[in-house]
Structure 1
Amino acid sequence: MMAIFIFVTVLALLLLGIPVAFVFGSVAIFFAFFIPELGFGIFDILSLRIYGIMSNSTLMAVPLFIAMGLILEKSKMAERLLISMSALFRDIRGGLAVSVVLVGAMLAASTGIVSASVVMMSVIALPLMLRAGYDKSLASSTVVASGTLGQIIPPSIILIILGDVMSVSVGELFMGAVLPGALLVGLYIAYILIRSYFSPELAPIPKEVKKVSKIEIFFSIIPPLLLMFSVLGSIFAGIASPTESAAFGVIGAIILSAINRSLNFEMLKYASLGSVKLSGMIFMILIASTAFSLVFNELGGTDAIVEFFHEDIGNVWFFIAISMLIIFVAGFFIDFIEISFIIVPILVPVMIGFGIDPLWFAILIALNLQASFLTPPFGLSLFFLKGVAGDSVSSSEIYRGIIPFILLQILTIGLVMIFPDLVFAFV
C-alpha cells in the first residue's frame, strides 16, 4: 500500500507541473527519511547506478541523434523536400497531403525528434496546404500526424530509451520498427487518397505548384535518403553500433547543411546547446528515477504488481490490454520520457514473468505513445501545431481532423498484436 501511495504521489505532483527530475528525487528522499525501515542507507548503491548510466554506450546515442536532428531542422532540408515532393504528386487529388506524409516519414527517419518535425512541418507544409484550398481539418491533421511519425520510425529517441529501460538491443528495435512504421505511413496515404476521392472538395488539385526540374528534385530527395540509409543501414548490417551511426549521422547532417548553404556558427551553436539541454533533461530524469525505483522496489511495489498480474489475474492478454490502456491514458498528461522511466520499468518484471518478447512489447509501447501524442485534448503534437498555426486553424478543426489518424494508429497497434511477424521480419 505504501508503494502504491508513493506512485500516486509522483503522478499527482507531475500533474501539478513540477519538473519530473525534482519529483522523482524529492519523493524518494522524503519517503526514505520518514519510513524507518528504509533510511538513507538505501541510497548507498545509487552512485554505482549513476556511474553505470553515465558509462552506458547505448545512451550516448541520445545526444548525438538529437544534435543531428537539430542541425537538419535548421538546414532547410524539409522545405526543399516538400517543394520537390509536391511537384511529383501535383496531378494527383490529395497529392499534396501525400507528399506531406512522405516528407514527414523522411524527416522522421532523418531526425527522430517529434517536436522538431511537427514544428518544421507546421511552418512549411500547413500554409502551403491552406493556400491550395485544402480543408483545414484535413490539412492540420495530416501535418501533425506526419510530424509525429518520428516517434516510431527509426532513429527514434523513444526507441533508444526503451531499449535501455527494457534491456533490448537498440539495433533490433530499429529493425523491428521498420515494418510497423511503413504500415502506418501506408495507412495514412490510403486514407488521404480515399477521402480525397470521395470528397474532392477537401483536397483540390493545386492550381499553382512551383515548377521544379528533375535535377532539383533529384538533389532534394537523394541526399536525405542517403543519410537515412547510411545511418540505419550501418546499424541493420551490423557494421556500426547505434552510437557510432549517430556520430556518423551528425557528420552527415553537417555536410547536408553545407550543401544547402545553411551551415554557420549560429546553427552549430543552436544544435550544441539544444542537444545539451535535452540530453541533460533526459539524464537527470533517469538518475532521479533510479533513486525512486530503489525506494519503490524496497517497499515491494514491483513484487506486488507482478503478483497481481501473474498470480491473481494470470492472463497475459489482460496484462497487455491494461498496460496499453495505462500508457495511452498517461500519454495525455505526461511526456514519453516520464512514461518510459516511471511506468515501463514497473511493467518489465511482469512482462518477463509472462514470457512476453520484450522487442515486440517495446514496439507496441512506442506505437501507443505515438497515438497519445495525437489524442485530444492533451496531445503534445497538437499543442506544437496550434502554437505555430495560431488563428489560421482552430482547436476544434484540429481535433476533428485528427480522429481518423488516431483510429489508424489503433488499427496498427491491433495488427502488430495479431501479426507479431511485422516486428520480427527484419530482425
Structure 2
Amino acid sequence: MELFFLLMLLVVMATALGSGYPVAFALPGAAILTIGAAALTGQMFAGDTSAYFSNSGPSQWLSAGVTNLRGVYWEPERDTLIAIPLFIFMGIMLQRSKIAEDLLVTMAQLFGPVPGGLGISVVVVGALLAATTGIVGATVVAMGMISLPAMMRRGYSNSLSTGVIAASGTLGQIIPPSIVLIILADQLASAVDQAGQARQALYRSSTGELSMPTEFAVSSTSAGDMFLGAMIPGALLVILYILYILVVAIVRPKMAPAVPYEGKYDAAFLRNVLLAMIPPLALILMVLGSIIAGVATVNQAGAIGAVGAMIMAGYRLHPDDRGHKFTPAIIAIIGLAVVAVAIANYNTNVLNMQTASDRMGVTIAAVGVALITLSIIWSGVRAFVNEDALRGVMVETAKTTSLVFIILLGAAMLTAAFRAFGGEELVKHFLEGLPGGFWTKFIIVMAVIFVLGFFLDFIEIAVVVVPIVAPILLADPSANVTAVWLGVMIGLNIQTSFLTPPFGFALFYLRGVAPAAVKTIQIYKGVVAFIGLQLAALVIVAFNPPLVNYLPARTSLVSDSAPPPVNPALQYCIEEYVADVFAANSATIDSAIQQAGTLDVSYLPEDLADDWTDGLERAADAMPLMQRIVDATAAQAAGAGDYRPVHTVVRALQRDAAMLDVEIEDLRLRASRGFGDSDAQTARADLLAAERDALLAQVPDGWEEVQDTYNVLNRENQTARNLYRRTVDQAYEPVPELRAIIADVDALAALRLQIEALAADAPGMDSDTADTRFREVEQALGDVAGARDIRGLLSDARGEITGRSPDPEQAIEDVAAAVALFEQEVQWRTRAQSELLPGVIAYDEAIRDTIGLRKQPRLPRAQALAVAACSARHRDISLNF
C-alpha cells in the first residue's frame, strides 16, 4: 500500500503541474491530499492511521511540516535565505532603471566592429547582468527586446541571434550572485548532515569502529562557497560562447558580420562607455569582492547590491534637465571613502572606545555613514517619484520572494510525504543497486534533473529533487565529492535544461518578445550548439573538480578565520606538500638541523637544554619518517589493485543484504503489532531472510585473508603518519618556546626593581599589603615567557604570608630563591640573546614551513595555496570503509 500512495503522490503532483495549477500550491496540495488519503485508509481498514506509512505517520509528517515552516521563516541559522529578496531587488531595480539597457547598447557599440562582435557583446552583457540580477526571465526578455532587433537589422542569422540571447540569458543561473545557488546551498546544508550520518554508519558497520576519522567526513558548503565555486565554471561558459561566436564569424561571416560604429570614438563616446560600464562593474566588484575577501557575508553583500542598485537608479532615472543628477552617487562615494579611512586608521569599535583617537575614529566613521545614509534616502526618493520605479520594484520583489518561500515550504511538505511513504529508501536502493559505483548514480541523477528541467522551474528542482538525491551522492566514499562541487554541477545542469527544446523556459521567454519574422524552429536550431557547449562545460567541470573546489578552499585557508594546520582534515594534503619539499630540499633542511646541533646550549637551564637536544634528534627523524609514509602509501596503492575488485563485490553484497535486513525487520515488526496479514508478512520475512543468506553466501572464499592483508598495509600507513605527526610536533615545540624566552629578556630585566623592592619589604608586610603587591609582580611575570618558576616561588611566598598559618621565615626563603633565580634567568638570557638567538631564529626559519608547519597558528600563504590545490581534488576513500 505504501507504494500505491507513493505513486498517488507523484501522479497528483504531476497532474496538478500539468494542468497549469500554481506550483506553490500543487506541491503542498499533493502532499496533503495523499497523506490524508493514506491516514483515512489506514484508519478504516487497519484501525491505525499510520498503517500505510513506511516511516512514522501523519502526526510525524505534520510535525515535520511545522518544523520546516519554522526553519524557513524563523530560524536565524538559515539566514542565508534573507539574501534572496535582496538580490531580487537588486536585479529588478537595475532592469527598471534601464541601466542594463545602457550597458547592452554601449557594449554593442564597443565590440560591434569585431567579427561577431555584436554577438560577443550580448554574451558579455549577459554575463554582467547575470552577476547583477540572477533572474533568467528578466534577462532574456530584456536582451531579446533590445538586442534581437538590432542583430536582425545588422544581418545576423536569426538562429544564431536567438541562440546567443537565450544562452546568455541563462547565465544568471550559474554566475554568482545567483538565486539558484543560494537555494542549493540551503538545501545542501541539510543534505550534508544526512550524508555525514550515513557515512558514519557505513564506517561503523564496515570497520566496527565507533567513530570515523575527521578526514573522512563529508565537506559542507555555504552560499558564499557556492558563489566562489561557480565563478570559474561560469567564466568557462562565457569563454566557450565567445569562442563559438568567433569561429562562426570566421567560418561563415554572413551569419555574424562586423557592425561598424557610425559615430566617433571621441571623448563623448569614452564618457558614455565609462558611465555605462563602471558603475555596474563596481557594483559587481563590491558584491562579489566583499564575499571573496571575507569582508561581508552573503546577506551583507546582498544588502550592498540592493543599496548600490538603488543609488545607480537614482541618477539614471533623474531627468537630464534637472540639476544635481549625480550628486547622491558622489555623496555615497565620499561616504564610503570616509568610512574606509576611519576603518584603516582608527579603532571604530563603539563598545571599546578608550582614547581620544578611538573617539575620533568613531566620529569620522559616523560622518561617513551619515553621508551614505543621505545618499540612500535621496536616491530612494528619486526612484519613488520618477516613473514610480521604487514601488514597482518593491511589489515585484515581494511577489517573487513570496513565490520562492511558498515553494520552499510546499516542497518541504512534499519531500516529507515522499519520505513517509518510503520513496527516499526506494531511490536510495535503486541508485545503490546500480553497477558502476558513484558515476553511474551521478549520471542517472543528472539525467533525471535534465529531463525535469523541461517541465519544472529551478526552484522546484532544487527543493524537491536535491534533498532526496544529494545525501545519497555525498555519502558515497568512492568519489568523496564536495557539496559545493555537487551544487555547481546541479546548477550547470539546471541551466542547460532552460535551453532544451521544446520546453526550455528561456525559449518561451524569448518567443514571447521575438518578432514574428523569427520562427520558433529557428530559435530551437539556434540553441542546439549552445546546449552542446553547456554539456561540454558540464563534462569539463565533472572531470576537473578543482575548477569548482579551488576558490572556496583557497579563500577558506587564507582568511583570518582559517583552520589551524593541526586540523585533522588538512593532514593528508599537508603531508603531501611536506613530502614534496623534503624531496626537493632535503640537503638544506638536513644542514639546518646539523647547524642547530652545533649551537652551545650548555649554559641553559637543564630542562630547556634537554628539550632542545631531544627536539633536534626528533627533527633528524622527520625526513626518514616521511619517507616511511611515502613507502607505506605506495605499498598500500599497490595492494589496492588486488583488494579493490574483491572489496567492491563484497561491499555490494553486504549492502544488498543490509537492505533486505531493513525490510525483514519492518515486516516482522508489523506482524508482531498485528498490522495487516501477520502470517503473510512472516512468510515474506522468512523468504527475504533466505535471500539475504544466499547473498552473503556469495562472498568470495578468502575474503577475510585479502581484507586482513590490505588492513595491515592500511594500518602501517596510518601508524607511519601518526608517528610522523607526533615526532615533528615534539621536534618543533622547543624552538618557538626558546625563542620567546630569550626574546623576553628585556621584559624580565625591567621587573628587577619591583622584585628587589618586594624582597626588601617582604619581612614587614601585613597580609593585605602582601596579597596586593605580590599579585602585581606575579601578574607582570605572567606576561614574560619562561618566568613560571619565578612566579611560582613568589606565589608560595605570598601564601606563607597570607595563609591561615603564616610562616614569615619560609616566605623570606622563597623570595630569596625567587631573586636568585631571577638573576640566573637574566644572566643566561642576556648571553643567549647575542650568542644563541640568531642561530635559533635561522633554524626556526629553515624548518618552520615543514617540520614546524603543524604547530603554526595558521598556514602561511604559500602552504595554504598548496593545500588548497590538493584539497580541491576528490580523493577515493572507499577502501577505508
Normalising by structure 2, report the TM-score: 0.47
Alignment of 1:388-403 (within 5 A): 388-403=513-528
Q: What secondary structure, in the 3-state scheme, does the structure 2 residue paired with 1:343 have?
A: helix
Alignment of 1:42-61 (within 5 A): 42-55=61-74, 56-61=78-83
Q: What does residue 732 of structure 2 align with?
A: none
Q: What does residue 511 of structure 2 align with?
A: 386
Do the aligned residues in 2 keep the contact of 1:87 with 1:211 (CA within 8 Å)? Answer: no
Structure 2 residue runs of 5 or longer lacking an equivalent are 43-49, 51-56, 190-220, 319-381, 553-881
Alignment of 1:106-125 (within 5 A): 106-125=128-147
Alignment of 1:154-169 (within 5 A): 154-167=176-189, 168-169=221-222
Alignment of 1:216-231 (within 5 A): 216-231=272-287
Q: What does residue 462 of structure 2 align with?
A: 340
In structure 2, distance between residues paired with 1:32 and 1:407 = 42
Matching residue within 256, 260, 282 for 1:203: 256
Do the aligned residues in 2 keep the contact of 1:134 with 1:203 (CA within 8 Å)? Answer: yes
In structure 1, distance between residues paired with 2:135 and 2:262 = 29
Do the aligned residues in 2 keep the contact of 1:351 with 1:358 (CA within 8 Å)? Answer: no
Residues 322 and 8 of structure 1, relative CA distance in 2, 3 Å threshold: farther
Do the aligned residues in 2 keep the contact of 1:43 with 1:294 (CA within 8 Å)? Answer: no
Do the aligned residues in 2 keep the contact of 1:416 with 1:423 (CA within 8 Å)? Answer: yes
Residues 414 and 186 of structure 1, relative CA distance in 2, 3 Å threshold: same
In structure 1, distance between residues paired with 2:262 and 2:141 = 23
Q: What secondary structure, in the 3-state scheme, does the structure 1 residue paired with 2:453 have?
A: helix
Work out whether 1:189 is the aligned partner of 2:242.
yes
In structure 1, distance between residues paired with 2:6 and 2:481 = 25
Work out whether 1:17 is the aligned partner of 2:20.
yes
Which whole-Å deviations, capped at 9, do the CAs of 1:307-360 have from their partners, x for residues lacking one?
Answer: 222245461001111111101111111111111122111112211321432111
In structure 2, distance between residues paired with 1:410 and 1:209 = 38
Work out whether 1:282 is the aligned partner of 2:404.
yes
Work out whether 1:234 is the aligned partner of 2:290.
yes
Matching residue within 85, 90, 98 for 1:63: 85
In structure 2, distance between residues paired with 1:44 and 1:390 = 52
Do the aligned residues in 2 keep the contact of 1:310 with 1:353 (CA within 8 Å)? Answer: no
Q: What does residue 244 of structure 1 align with?
A: 300
Work out whether 1:136 is the aligned partner of 2:155.
no
Q: What secondary structure, in the 3-state scheme, does the structure 2 residue paired with 1:385 have?
A: helix
What is the CA-CA distance between 1:6 and the residue it aligns to?
2.1
Matching residue within 263, 266, 273 for 2:395: 273
In structure 1, distance between residues paired with 2:282 and 2:80 = 23
Q: What does residue 452 of structure 2 align with?
A: 330
Q: What secondary structure, in the 3-state scheme, does the structure 1 residue paired with 2:170 have?
A: helix
Structure 1 residue runs of 5 or longer lacking an equivalent are none
Residues 11 and 341 of structure 1, relative CA distance in 2, 3 Å threshold: farther
Do the aligned residues in 2 keep the contact of 1:59 with 1:160 (CA within 8 Å)? Answer: yes
In structure 2, distance between residues paired with 1:20 and 1:79 = 31
Q: What does residue 415 of structure 2 align with?
A: 293
Q: What does residue 362 of structure 1 align with?
A: 487
Amino acid in the other structure paired with 1:296? F
Residues 218 and 208 of structure 1, relative CA distance in 2, 3 Å threshold: closer
Which whole-Å deviations, capped at 9, do the CAs of 1:148-201 have from their partners, x for residues lacking one?
Answer: 111110011100110101113000000000000000000000000010101011
Q: What does residue 372 of structure 1 align with?
A: 497
What is the CA-CA distance between 1:281 and the residue it aligns to?
0.9
In structure 1, distance between residues paired with 2:513 and 2:412 = 36
Which whole-Å deviations, capped at 9, do the CAs of 1:77-135 have from their partners, x for residues lacking one?
Answer: 12221222122223211111111110110110011111111111111111111111111
In structure 2, distance between residues paired with 1:270 and 1:190 = 39
Q: What does residue 121 of structure 2 align with?
A: 99
Residues 41 and 123 of structure 1, relative CA distance in 2, 3 Å threshold: same
In structure 1, distance between residues paired with 2:133 and 2:32 = 37
Amino acid in the other structure paired with 2:229? G
Do the aligned residues in 1 keep the contact of 2:113 with 2:261 (CA within 8 Å)? Answer: no
Which whole-Å deviations, capped at 9, do the CAs of 1:348-393 have from their partners, x for residues lacking one?
Answer: 2211321432111111110111111111111111111111113131
In structure 1, distance between residues paired with 2:121 and 2:529 = 18
Identity over aligned pairs, percent: 41
Work out whether 1:174 is the aligned partner of 2:227.
yes
Q: What secondary structure, in the 3-state scheme, does the structure 1 residue paired with 2:514 have?
A: helix
Question: Which is greater in Rg?
Answer: 2
In structure 2, distance between residues paired with 1:410 and 1:284 = 32
Work out whether 1:72 is the aligned partner of 2:94.
yes
Q: In terms of mean alpha carbon deviation, does 310-319 or 213-222 score higher?
A: 310-319
In structure 1, distance between residues paired with 2:146 and 2:458 = 26
Amino acid in the other structure paired with 2:383? N
Q: What secondary structure, in the 3-state scheme, does the structure 2 residue paired with 1:392 have?
A: coil
In structure 2, distance between residues paired with 1:305 and 1:419 = 27
In structure 2, distance between residues paired with 1:49 and 1:201 = 56
In structure 1, distance between residues paired with 2:434 and 2:127 = 43
Q: In terms of mean alpha carbon deviation, does 246-255 or 215-224 score higher?
A: 215-224
Do the aligned residues in 1 keep the contact of 2:112 with 2:121 (CA within 8 Å)? Answer: no
Residue-pair matches, total: 427
Work out whether 1:31 is the aligned partner of 2:34.
yes
Do the aligned residues in 2 keep the contact of 1:306 with 1:349 (CA within 8 Å)? Answer: no
Do the aligned residues in 2 keep the contact of 1:83 with 1:210 (CA within 8 Å)? Answer: no
Do the aligned residues in 1 keep the contact of 2:82 with 2:299 (CA within 8 Å)? Answer: yes
What is the CA-CA distance between 1:210 and the residue it aligns to?
4.6
In structure 1, distance between residues paired with 2:434 and 2:519 = 47
In structure 2, distance between residues paired with 1:260 and 1:210 = 23
In structure 1, distance between residues paired with 2:249 and 2:35 = 59
Q: In terms of mean alpha carbon deviation, does 101-110 or 34-43 score higher?
A: 34-43
Do the aligned residues in 2 keep the contact of 1:138 with 1:401 (CA within 8 Å)? Answer: yes
What is the CA-CA distance between 1:47 and the residue it aligns to?
2.1
Q: What does residue 315 of structure 1 align with?
A: 437
Q: What does residue 531 of structure 2 align with?
A: 406
Do the aligned residues in 2 keep the contact of 1:95 with 1:205 (CA within 8 Å)? Answer: yes
Q: What does residue 256 of structure 1 align with?
A: 312
What is the CA-CA distance between 1:40 and the residue it aligns to?
4.5
Amino acid in the other structure paired with 1:332? F
What is the CA-CA distance between 1:207 and the residue it aligns to?
4.6
The structure, 1 or 2, with the larger RCO (C-alpha pairs under 8 Å, 6+ apart) is 1
Q: What secondary structure, in the 3-state scheme, does the structure 2 residue paired with 1:341 have?
A: helix
Do the aligned residues in 1 keep the contact of 2:434 with 2:440 (CA within 8 Å)? Answer: no
In structure 2, distance between residues paired with 1:251 and 1:180 = 28
In structure 1, distance between residues paired with 2:481 and 2:469 = 11
In structure 2, distance between residues paired with 1:339 and 1:329 = 11
Amino acid in the other structure paired with 1:386? R
Q: What secondary structure, in the 3-state scheme, does the structure 1 residue paired with 2:294 have?
A: coil
Do the aligned residues in 2 keep the contact of 1:150 with 1:156 (CA within 8 Å)? Answer: yes
Amino acid in the other structure paired with 2:35? A
In structure 2, distance between residues paired with 1:115 and 1:175 = 24
